[in-house]
Amino acid sequence: MFAFLYNPDRFMAFSRWAAPLFGAIAAVLAVVGLWLDFAAPPDYQQGYTIHVMFIHVPASMMSLFVYLCLAVASFLGLVFRQPLADAAARAAAPLGAGLTLLALVTGSLWGKPMWGTWWVWDARLTSELVLLLFYLGYMALQAAIDDEARAARACAILALVGVVNLPIVVFSVDWWNTLHQGSTLFAPSGQGLAPVYVPPFLIMIVAYLGAFGALWLVRIRAEVWRRRANVLAVRAAR
């Protein structure tokens, strides 16, 4: 049943219909979600900036989710020696980094009207920043090792080390933030979200998931094609 996960041909067949489907679902949901979001009344406390929340919070949740996907793919690639899993991990990294960057930028945009500065070192944003560093380190390692199989394995080890470290980092940043109480308190969303906001919020989350799924599948397809093209080119050169 899960043959499409490790057999490249079955995967290609699966993703041919799955990717556009996810993309379409994502597009529809995004439109619906954003429309509901803008139609919702402004928050009594945060005014119109609440709208940014619908983009920011799902982005930051997704950035963590993508890292988890990357770690799982890395694990499968490392333990079962599946090149498809390696390709999946490699493909997910830039998507995760992009999402993290989106979360940071929208977080900053959200914060400016509220705190008056473009950046504040609160627990969540700082953890996002460290997550971005994890992604960047992963991509840097990937780019620095020439041999593809070796690069994939080294990155897989790094991803697993990272996924173990991530909770520790989040915990330590959280602790650090409580130590330095003097900084502006930032009320995180998701804490008592008014009921009128919940449906668009959930829709946006699913939209993000769909978009990620579609993009990830497309990127993995591109990886598979690239490798096949490489093999053919090497063979032709003999």
Partner 1 sequence: MITSLAIDRLAVSRGDRVLFSGLSLNLAAGQAVALVGANGAGKTSLLRVIAGLIRPEAGEVVFTDAADPVAPEDARSRDLHMIGHQDGLKTGRTAWEELLFQVLWTGGSRASAEAACQRLDLRRLLDLEVRKLSAGQRRRLALARLIASPRSLWLLDEPLAPLDAERRAFAGVLMREHLDAGGLIVAAVHDPLPVEARLFEVGA
Partner 2 sequence: MVLMRRELALSWGRGGGPMLAVAFYAAMATLLPLATGPAPSQLAVVAPGSAWLALALASLLSLERLFERDYEDGALDLLALGPAPLELVAAAKCLAQWITTAAPLALAAPVAAVALGASTALMPLICITALIGGLGFCFCGGIGAALSLGSRRGGLLIAVIVLPLFAPPVIFGAGAIEAYAGGLDWRTPLLFLCAYSLATAGLGPFAMAAACRNALS
40 vs 139, which CB is nearer to partner 2? 139
Answer for which of 10, 112, 153, 227 binds partner 2 (CB under 8 A) is 153
| CB-CB contact of 87 with 227 (8 Å) | yes
By CB under 8 A, the residues from 174 to 203 that bind partner 2 are: 175-176, 179
Q: Measured between alpha carbons, how far is 179 from 181 in angstroms, rounded to an integer?
A: 6
Residue 147 beta carbon to partner 1: minimum distance, rounded to whole angstroms: 6
Q: Measured between alpha carbons, how far is 63 from 96 in angstroms, rounded to an integer?
A: 5
Q: Measured between alpha carbons, how far is 60 from 3 in angstroms, rounded to an integer?
A: 31
Which of partner 1, partner 2, none lies near 179, with the C-beta cut-off 5 to 8 A by kind?
A: partner 2
Torsion angle of the four alpha carbons 113, 114, 119, 122, in this order, in degrees rounded to the nearest 10: -160
Q: Which residue has the tokens 């500065």?
A: 117
Let me know how many helices (H) and strands (E) the chain has, helices first. 7, 0
Which of partner 1, partner 2, none lies near 169, with the C-beta cut-off 5 to 8 A by kind?
A: partner 2
Answer for which of 140, 196, 198, 231 binds partner 2 (CB under 8 A) is 140
Task: List the beta bridge partners of residue 43.
Answer: 47
Terminal CA-CA length for the chain = 39
By CB under 8 A, the residues from 83 to 122 that bind partner 2 are: none
Return the DSSP state at 196: G
55 vs 156, which CB is nearer to partner 1? 156
By CB under 8 A, the residues from 110 to 169 that bind partner 1 are: 147-149
16 vs 228, which CB is nearer to partner 1? 228
Classify 190 in phi/psi space as left (phi over 0), alpha (psi -120 to 50) or beta: left
Which of partner 1, partner 2, none lies near 98, with the C-beta cut-off 5 to 8 A by kind?
A: none
Q: Is 144 in the site for partner 2 (CB under 8 A)?
A: yes
Q: Is 80 in the site for partner 2 (CB under 8 A)?
A: no
State the number of CA atoms in the 13 A half-sphere of 214 facing the CB: 16
Interface residues with partner 2 (CB under 8 A) are 130, 133-134, 136-137, 140-141, 144-147, 150, 153-154, 157-158, 160-162, 164-165, 168-169, 171-173, 175-176, 179
Interface residues with partner 1 (CB under 8 A) are 147-149, 230-231, 234
